[in-house]
């Protein structure tokens, strides 16, 4: 557990997700995914994105998931896979509060020493603005293959990158 500066006088803390967090994380991921992606991806993908699918995907990645709690409530989470910021979500009730910036700084610490990247669905302008405000640069538009119960499905995504390698002192 890592303490963070308080938000509106409330205690913030980061912690590794546990299996008992699966349903809460899946519900946040499901709601956030539909709010940010459903209008920008193939309809065939939207149909597969059920709460049950998110529960299965969350359970399989719980060891890669970090939670940010504010006042004892899960305010957001991130999942890291190698040099990829694989998932990044903030609960709707905490958007616009600065929680996302705190969560992003923590995710970047976990990716320190790398040129990190993330995929953002083409058209998800709200997320793209946040990534750019956080210092990430749009490097390309590419097909990104997302996992589904029926196998991988291609989605048009913007690839964002951020150099988190230490600068030489030469």
**pLDDT at residue 2 is higher than 50:** no
**Residue 166: its pLDDT value, please?**
82
Domain that holds residue 75: 2-116
Residue 33 covered by a domain = yes
Residue 152 covered by a domain = no
**pLDDT at residue 85 is higher than 70:** yes
C-beta separation of 164 from 111 below 8 A: yes
C-beta separation of 121 from 136 below 8 A: no
DSSP-H helix ranges across 1-136: 22-37, 43-48, 51-61, 99-110, 125-133
What is the number of domains present in the chain?
Answer: 1
Residue 98 tokens, joined: 């600065």
Residue 149 covered by a domain = no
pLDDT per position as a tens digit, 31-69: 999 999 999 999 999 999 999 999 999 999 999 999 999
89: domain CATH number is: 3.40.630.30
Residue 135 covered by a domain = no
């Amino acid at each position: 557990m890592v303490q963070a500066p308080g938000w509106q006088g409330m205690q913030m803390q980061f912690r590794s997700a546990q299996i008992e967090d699966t349903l809460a994380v899946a519900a946040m991921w499901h709601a956030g995914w539909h709010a940010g992606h459903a209008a920008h991806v193939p309809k065939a993908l939207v149909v597969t994105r059920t709460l049950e699918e998110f529960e299965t995907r969350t359970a399989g990645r719980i060891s890669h998931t970090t939670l940010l709690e504010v006042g004892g409530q899960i305010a957001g989470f991130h999942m890291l896979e190698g040099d990829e910021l694989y998932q990044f979500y903030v609960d709707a009730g905490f958007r616009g509060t600065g929680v996302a910036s705190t969560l992003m700084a923590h995710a970047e610490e976990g990716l320190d020493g790398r040129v990190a990247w993330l995929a953002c669905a083409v058209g998800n302008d709200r997320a793209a603005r946040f990534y750019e405000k956080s210092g990430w640069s749009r490097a390309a538009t590419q097909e990104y293959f997302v996992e589904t119960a029926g196998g991988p499905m291609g989605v048009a995504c913007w690839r964002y990158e951020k150099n988190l390698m230490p600068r030489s002192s030469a």
